[in-house]
Amino acid sequence: MSSFIKLSFLTFYIFFLLVPNLYSQETRILGIAPSYKNEKVKFYKYSDNITKLEEELFSINIDSTGKFSHVFNLQNTTFAFAYLGVFRCVFYIESGKDLWLNFPKKTTKSIEDILNPYFKITDFFIGMNDTLLTDLNYSIKTFDDEIDEYLNSNFFNLYSKARKSDIDSIITNIEVKYSKSENQYFNDYRKYKYAYLQNIAYIRNQNFATKEFFKNQPILYNNNAYMDFFNMLFSNFLSLYAVSKEGSEITNDIILAKSISYIKNTLQKNISFQDEKLQEFIVLKGIYDAFFVKKTGEYKLFPSRQMFQVLDSIAILSKQPEHKLIAKNIQKKVLNLHIGTDAPYFELNDSKINKFKLKETDDKYLYISFIHSKSMTCQEELSLVKELHKKYKREIKFISISFDENFKDAIKLFDDKSYDWTLLNGTENIDLLKIYNIKAFPTYYFISKDLKLINSPAQSPKENFESIFLRNYKSKEYEAPKDYEELFK
């Protein structure tokens, strides 16, 4: 190999290694949170703004004095949040900039709050610097407050009277305060907030709004205002477009062709959608919504298996990394806790402070109960679980995950009643309540030896779990579905 070729190869290799970090800059957050001292706090971001799947962005360890500081690399301005008791603490963090976080006083959320379907968590801005008018968090918060105040006071008139001059006048008056901003994220944010208002008030035309605000323009995947408007404008798009005259071929594109190319060709016939990158993004939003459409009539329903195949083709063929990710996220979210899929993984300490990992099945089925020792229903059913444990402990590994505020209460109950199966401390990972969609105690899951969900959720001992196990699983091995068709039967 010539020295020139070697040098070229080396140059390419170094460039390849550096490319992912070219636009990533060191970012630091710091602050003082006395009421959270000695705690670890996790911060999240949305993996994408269609599915809203959450992924951990970073975590901090708050020291014994309440101080914290954390440095990490960040590529784009990102909306981040942390769940702290009754608050969802939110802020925008910019690449290459320091940010001081101001936590609210600690207010713990009870298990009852967590399980209460009507409990509404409060968003609390924690990154504002109101002494610096150019601060992104301060700018967005004050701007949003103005918009929200106007909407709360004028929504009915705004929607019913639909006067262009009124809303444009309001926008002009608000924009005077922010027009000198040099922050591109905030400038885009305002543009799409105004577009949202204009669409409510007088545009109300999907084709016009698409050409005006989205066609042949950058897709701002991480801008909350852009994505709020996009998600509103294209809500249930494919299910509605398929019943229109111009979109009548969409049904066959999905059901027969199962092809993103065919869907794009149909969209191409409408001048508003003649932007290939935008087409794909619209299709992703449309398919995601279509999985959750229950109505008929004005909405077209599509078979899940075919929609998954379209998503597969996007995940493989798309030229956009963001679209590949969204396609996979849609599959992940739709299949979450679905029978035949992997049981969400966890690690927790048991009553003897030994670490239990979900992969430790001992070549047995798993019968998991999510419990609270003070619940009368839990107390009644745990006595029935005891009988099941006596009969089937060779075939089934029984696990109870306690969410008692004080784990010792659950340990005492198990000791007093001589329950000798695995008891885990669920409060070490309160996110499990969300991950396993726990709405009440007790809730059960039945998991195969290879950690696939079999019954999700499973029947309780009162609901004839024993006869279901004997009939379907005791004498034969469970096999997970092998494709989408089996999965959705």
Residue 80, CB-side half-sphere exposure with 13 Å CA sphere = 24
pLDDT beyond 90 at 103: yes
Task: Report the side by side order of strands in the sheet with 87-93.
Answer: 54-61, 40-46, 78-84, 87-93, 122-125
pLDDT beyond 70 at 159: no
Share of the chain above pLDDT 90, in %: 75
Q: What is the mean pLDDT of residues 123-134?
A: 83
pLDDT beyond 70 at 340: yes
CATH number of 347-487: 3.40.30.10
Tokens 């030229």, residue located: 319
In the chain, what is the straight-line distance between the N-terminal and C-terminal CA atoms, in Å?
58
* Residues 265-282 pLDDT 10s: 999 999 999 999 999 999
Give the three-state DSSP class for 331: helix
How high does pLDDT run on average in the chain?
90
* Residues 286-321 pLDDT 10s: 999 999 987 666 889 999 999 999 999 999 999 999
**Residue 401: its pLDDT value, please?**
98
Residue type at position 455: N
Q: 57 near 98, Cβ under 8 Å? A: no
Q: 268 near 279, Cβ under 8 Å? A: yes
pLDDT beyond 60 at 7: no
**Residue 484: its pLDDT value, please?**
78
Tokens 């009643």, residue located: 417
Q: 479 near 339, Cβ under 8 Å? A: no
CA dist list (Å): 256 to 63, 127, 279, 296, 310: 59, 50, 20, 20, 11
Q: 395 near 361, Cβ under 8 Å? A: no
Residue 373, CB-side half-sphere exposure with 13 Å CA sphere = 20
* Residues 179-212 pLDDT 10s: 999 999 999 999 999 999 899 888 889 999 999 9
* Residues 373-387 pLDDT 10s: 999 999 999 999 999
Instruction: Specify the range with the lowest mean pLDDT, choosing from 173-177, 293-297, 313-317, 433-437.
Output: 293-297
Please, is 182 exposed, middle or buried when counting C-beta atoms within 10 Å of its C-beta (0-12, 13-18, 19+)? exposed
Instruction: Give every CB contact of residue 46 below 8 A, 6+ residues apart in sequence.
Output: 52, 53, 54, 55, 79
Residue type at position 349: N
* Residues 439-458 pLDDT 10s: 999 999 999 999 999 999 99
Question: How sure is the predictor about 129, in pLDDT bands with cuts at 50, 70 and 90?
Answer: confident
Domain boundaries, the chain: 24-127, 130-215, 234-334, 347-487
Comparing CA positions, the residue from 237, 235, 295 lying closest to residue 263 is 237
Reduced DSSP (H G I as helix, E B as strand, rest coil) percent helix, strand, coil of the chain, to 5:
45, 20, 35
Tokens 């979109």, residue located: 247
What is the C-alpha separation between 21 and 312, in angstroms, rounded? 28
What is the C-alpha separation between 114 and 123, in angstroms, rounded? 16
- CA 213 to centroid of chain Cα atoms: 26
**Residue 15: its pLDDT value, please?**
46
pLDDT beyond 50 at 5: no
Instruction: Give every CB contact of residue 401 below 8 A, 6+ residues apart in sequence.
Output: 348, 368, 369, 370, 371, 424, 425, 426, 432
Question: How sure is the predictor about 18, in pLDDT bands with cuts at 50, 70 and 90?
Answer: very low
What is the C-alpha separation between 126 and 437, in angstroms, rounded? 28
Q: What is the mean pLDDT of residues 9-32?
A: 64
**Residue 315: its pLDDT value, please?**
96
pLDDT beyond 60 at 1: no
What is the C-alpha separation between 91 and 123, in angstroms, rounded? 10
Query: What are the backbone angles phi and psi of residue 254, rounded to the nearest 5°?
Result: -90, -50
Query: Higher model confidence: residue 173 or residue 482?
Result: 173
Give the three-state DSSP class for 373: coil
pLDDT beyond 60 at 14: no
> Beta-carbon neighbour count of residue 76 at 10 Å?
14
CA pseudo-torsion sign 208, 209, 213, 214: negative
DSSP code for 146: H
Instruction: Give every CB contact of residue 474 below 8 A, 6+ residues apart in sequence.
Output: 392, 395
DSSP code for 452: B
Count of residues for the chain?
489
pLDDT beyond 50 at 12: no
CA dist list (Å): 370 to 111, 204, 373: 12, 47, 10
**Residue 489: its pLDDT value, please?**
65
pLDDT beyond 80 at 61: yes
How is domain 24-127 classified at the architecture level of CATH?
Sandwich (2.60)
Are 24-127 and 347-487 the same fold in CATH? no
Query: What are the backbone angles phi and psi of residue 450, rounded to the nearest 5°?
Result: -100, 20
Q: What is the mean pLDDT of residues 411-427?
A: 97
Catalogue the E-assigned strands of 111-159.
Answer: 122-125
Q: 424 near 402, Cβ under 8 Å? A: yes
Instruction: Specify the range with the lowest mean pLDDT, choosing from 87-101, 116-130, 338-352, 371-385.
Output: 116-130
**Residue 348: its pLDDT value, please?**
97
* Residues 64-79 pLDDT 10s: 999 999 999 999 999 9
Residue type at position 223: N
